[in-house]
Chain A
Amino acid sequence: MLKIIENIDNNELISPELSQKLATLIVDENYDYSIEEDYYIPDVNYHTANVVEPMKANTLLNKNTSSSFFLESDIFIIPELDD
């Protein structure tokens, strides 16, 4: 579990009743909000994504830091760090 969730104090949140009331108003329960299955986004892998702010969008700058993987799923590689 992410720390942020553990640390939530429910007393600091607006009440469930009010929150429910607001949430009910913004959602149409007859509408299908899903994104089609084909479009599932892969997990972010170890890349510094080549994406840009809109104003710089016509020249995409690719930082291109390739990393290899460790096999264990509970270990995360820290790119950009070597010495």
Chain B
Amino acid sequence: MNLKNEENTVLNYFCYVLINEILPFEAKYISLRKNKNFTFIRQIIQLFLNDILPNANKLVTKETFNDKYLSKIEQTIKVCKAEYLGLLIKYNIKDKDKSYYNNFKKKYLFKRNNKYGIKNELIEEAIIDLENYLDVGNEIIKKNQLNITDIDKHISSDIYKGELELLNQQIKKFHKYYLILERKLYENGFIKKIDENTINPTDKINNLEYLYFVIIHEFWNFLAHFSMGLIYFNTPNNFLSNLHKSISHLKRAVMDLLDGMIIENNCSYLPEYLQLRVLKISSLGNSIKIQELISRLEKVFTKCLQQNQ
């Protein structure tokens, strides 16, 4: 076997796992639980920023990728999968097909103190069994995937360069402002409430907390489009189109972050900011103007922070 092909980049493996495992799983999982599991999403965003990005271009084997990177979220994935399994059974099997259910229990589950549990090593197999039975597996992704052939002929092309450098800039901006927002939401206890599941049904959330959900959604969409482009890299156009979509979600996240924090810091009365509100409307759909808008929002936000000190 060609030794070279035993390795690929950390970024590539991450995107592959995201597209073929995490995203399809999460799509089914939130349909059953009716809500996104934000702790799960945040863990993946954190893995991406902390571990994947700084090592993105390192060549590793599948095994190394698993041990050094993916293992950090393995526990979480398993917990979510166990919850998914329970929900899938509850809604689709339990009262509908007793004989399959009884066999399934016998094969994979055990009961103690009135709770059902499953051994770590059986989770994947149990899900495949159940998903095959219900015909909801992930195979459709592969079927929809066009053949990746001969893509290396595009390797010399520099048509992506400008876009990728733009992405580079926007990820840094996102990271910078995301940290500021996270710090605030840690300090006010909101994130702890999410992670520990202690929000009461009657709790109202404030603008900044609302913003947090919005930008996490945007970042998630960025990751999805970028990964899709990289994994289904069948033509340069296809890649570029996903790249554009991913950058647009990322810019949206950066803009929302800045907007939200300018409002939160009581600077939305500043004339410069009022003008930007108008500029925002006139920039709709115009990529270059949106970049300019982001730079100017950054300036207002910096001024705002200085003013508040």
Contacts and interface: CB of A to CB of B under 8 A. Distances in A.
Interface of A: 1-6, 8, 10-29, 31, 33-36, 38-54, 57-64, 67-68, 70, 74-83
A12 B63 CA distance: 17
A53 B194 contact: no
A57 B205 contact: yes
Contact of A78 (B75, B77, B116, B230): B116
A25 B158 CA distance: 11
Nearest to B138: A4
Contact of A23 (B11, B40, B90, B172): B11
Q: B-side binding surface: helix, strand, loop or mixed?
A: helix
A2 B16 contact: no
Nearest to B125: A3
Given A41-B46, A67-B115, A78 B85 contact: yes
Contacts of A46: 79, 82-83
Contacts of A83: 94
B305 to A, nearest CB: 18
B8 A10 contact: yes
Interface of B: 4-13, 16-17, 20-21, 33, 35-40, 42-43, 46, 49-50, 53-54, 56-57, 59, 62-63, 65-66, 70, 74-83, 85-87, 89-90, 94, 109, 112-121, 123-124, 128, 148, 151-152, 154-155, 160-161, 164-165, 167-168, 171-172, 175, 179, 182-183, 186, 191, 194-197, 199-201, 203-205, 209-210, 213-214, 217, 230-231, 233
Q: A-side binding surface: helix, strand, loop or mixed?
A: loop
A38 B56 contact: no
Q: Report the 6 A-B pairs with minimum CB-CB distance, sorted nearest first.
A: A23-B57, A47-B197, A25-B164, A76-B82, A23-B56, A78-B86
A5 B83 contact: no
